[in-house]
Structure 1
Amino acid sequence: MEEVSELLINKMWGRLNRQWVAMKARGSAGGIIVIWTENPFTMEANDIDRLIVGGDFNTIRYPEEKNVVGRVTTSMRRLSDFILGGELIDLLLEGARYTWTNNQENLILSWLDRILISTEWEEKFPRIFQRALPRPISDHNLLLLELSDFSAGPRPFKMDMSWCEDKGFDGKVKNWWEAMNVTGWKGFILGQKIKQLKLNIREWVKQENSSRELRKSEILLKLQELDRLEESNPLGNVERQQRADLKIEYEEYIRRDEISWRQKSRAIWLKEGDGNTKFFHRMANAR
């Protein structure tokens, strides 16, 4: 999203009682719009008993949180003061020692990203922790705050435009349709063939999703293996090229995911490729 205008905001939200601010996209990141009403609101003290603060703090807390150990800096002291002053808990990090890399030959690895929680969260969820997920595209690891599992359940059949990205999809649909042998009046034939076509597509999607998720998992595991290897020794040319190829392959899967979630969210005012799959996901589930 290169530019955000009043016209775009009006289409999204209307003209009355609202303010907005936007951050331009940079490549596959950013593209955030925040809109709020001008009506005043209040927050009671009990609304902030359980606090979670997470993100890229752009500094480490201790010297050993970097692969090149240095001295204690002012920014490190400020981060510790913020955590201690706010009575926050710096959660245990699972899955990696560092959350950021400069991806350069002179390798720098740092723990810049973290999730902080208030003591009330730890009292309610004593086994809460943060897990560093692989970084297939970004130079930062995603952080997962592990609490419980969630399942959205089955969804009704809808045509997903991401299926059309598969080069063989059109041919499969044609073959399935022509292979059906249904007799009766034309309306009945059409209805039965559409019903059967849905079943064929569902089965194909199930198999394709299973195969794709398996491949994505394989890529993430391999990238995680290379990241951990890099924490001990710089990667050679072969390993760096292998990681680059895996990232390109993974980016194609992510691009298809974004097309799918974009359609489900009906957020057609955003361009494909803004890197906001999670935004689309939340909007789709909220409907």
Structure 2
Amino acid sequence: MGVTESIINKLWGRLIRDWVAKEAVGAAGGIIMIWKCDQITVEEVNIKGFSVSLLLNSSNWTEKWKLTVVYGPARARERIALWTELRDIREQRQGPWMVGGNFNTIRLPEEKNRMALITTSMRNLSNFINDSALIDLLLEGARFTWTNNQENLIMSRLDRILISMEWEEAFPLIYQRALPKPTSDHNPILLELSNFLEGPRPFKFNLALCETPKFVDHIKLWWNEEYFEGWKGFILFMKLKHIKMRIKEWQKSEIEASRFGKEDVLSSLESLERKEEDSCLTTEESMERLVLLEEYEEIIRREEIAWRQKSRSIWVKEGDHNSTFPPAWLILEGESTPLTA
């Protein structure tokens, strides 16, 4: 099944955006890139054997820059074509360049949980980085970005983001961080540019609150806790106004609880992942991870309800949070939001 507008809508919603995709061959090689049209202008798209490149104008940078997303081949003998392809892309245009994704090879022996010998692929990756004058940013949050999720555990750093000197000069505080991977064998990579604080937003009722067990009980309690006198229309107006006030207070506390609950779950999963990098998990820890994954799926299900409400896309079905489509390696929203790979 190819990438369609419906799939993109499920990933992103019906916002002001555009996208390009490289179809997968079997279960590998697929790339999806999505960007906000009001903040990023794409002047050129170049789809090659192992990569997709965009020539961009972004609202937070006056200079044009090139973005390349990679899905490297699993077979070592095919990677020679990958390095040739990337060098050709670099030669076509100098200037700011960012290249990242799944290179399907490590660079250093310590980037694998089982100490590896230095291979030709490792040398070729290092040579490409050096020849292209790219910066291999330190990875925060994890040592490895991929696991086979098998009893005979193998973990490697296959995913990375490389930037040119122009990027480092424009954004000297830029860094990449591995996020937890509750539903994938790859860690998402967050490229952080700057912090951004959003202003206040108008109140909107969150439909996900209806999923909470005591929602109806709360409404009954709030309806009866205040007494008003006057004509029926006035009483109804005042009761609804009072319920709105209580819902706003409750919704704020629920959102905070959900946010911190999600952070706690992801933090616990991340701790278990870090422990698994050094030693096998005990039976109790494996069961704890299963419970945490169930909690995470419930949190995500409620978030999907909220996003469906925000986008007014009733066709986004609950539970449609899966990884059956090619990975969305990079989502661009400009300076206000970090780049996610």
TM above 0.5: yes
Tell me if the contact between 2:101 and 2:160 (Cα under 8 Å) persists in the aligned partners: yes
> What is the deviation of 1:22?
8.3
Tell me if the contact between 2:142 and 2:178 (Cα under 8 Å) persists in the aligned partners: yes
| Structure having the larger proportion of residues in helix | 1
Question: What is the distance in 2 between the residues matched to 1:60 and 1:272?
Answer: 37
Whether 1:254 and 2:300 are equivalent positions in the alignment is yes
Whether 1:80 and 2:126 are equivalent positions in the alignment is yes
Question: What is the distance in 1 between the residues matched to 2:288 and 2:22?
Answer: 37
SS in 1 for 2:64: helix
Counterparts in 2 of 1:56 and 1:259: CA distance versus 1, 3 Å = farther
Q: Which residue is 1:150 aligned to?
A: 196
> What is the deviation of 1:116?
1.6
Counterparts in 2 of 1:75 and 1:258: CA distance versus 1, 3 Å = farther
Counterparts in 2 of 1:66 and 1:202: CA distance versus 1, 3 Å = same
| One-letter identity of the residue aligned with 2:264 | E
> What is the deviation of 1:250?
1.2
Q: Which residue is 2:163 aligned to?
A: 117
Runs of 5+ unmatched residues, structure 2? 36-41, 45-54, 58-62, 66-94, 323-327
After superposition, residues 1-287 of structure 1 pair within 5 angstroms as 46-48=63-65, 49-275=95-321
Tell me if the contact between 1:157 and 1:198 (Cα under 8 Å) persists in the aligned partners: no
| One-letter identity of the residue aligned with 1:150 | F
Question: What is the distance in 2 between the residues matched to 1:178 and 1:72?
Answer: 73
Question: If the length of structure 1 is used for normalisation, what is the TM-score?
Answer: 0.77
SS in 1 for 2:191: strand
| Structure having the larger proportion of residues in strand | 2
Counterparts in 2 of 1:168 and 1:22: CA distance versus 1, 3 Å = farther
When structure 1 is superposed on structure 2, of 235-244 and 217-226 the one drifting more is: 217-226
Runs of 5+ unmatched residues, structure 1? none
SS in 2 for 1:89: strand
Question: If the length of structure 2 is used for normalisation, what is the TM-score?
Answer: 0.66
> What is the deviation of 1:66?
0.5
> What is the deviation of 1:41?
5.1
Counterparts in 2 of 1:199 and 1:78: CA distance versus 1, 3 Å = farther
Work out the number of aligned pairs and report it: 268
Counterparts in 2 of 1:19 and 1:239: CA distance versus 1, 3 Å = closer
Tell me if the contact between 2:3 and 2:21 (Cα under 8 Å) persists in the aligned partners: no
SS in 2 for 1:47: strand
Counterparts in 2 of 1:271 and 1:20: CA distance versus 1, 3 Å = farther
RMSD of Structure 2 on Structure 1 (CA) = 3.8
Deviations 1:49-90 (A, max 9, x none): 433333333222222211112233444344334433432211
| One-letter identity of the residue aligned with 2:287 | Q
| One-letter identity of the residue aligned with 1:192 | M
Question: What is the distance in 1 between the residues matched to 2:4 and 2:158?
Answer: 33
> What is the deviation of 1:227?
1.5
Q: Which residue is 2:91 aligned to?
A: none
- Of structures 1 and 2, the one scoring higher in RCO (CA 8 A, sep 6+) is 2
Deviations 1:196-234 (A, max 9, x none): 212111111122222222222222222222122111111
When structure 1 is superposed on structure 2, of 248-257 and 135-144 the one drifting more is: 135-144
> What is the deviation of 1:129?
1.3
Tell me if the contact between 2:139 and 2:176 (Cα under 8 Å) persists in the aligned partners: yes
Identity of aligned residues (%): 51
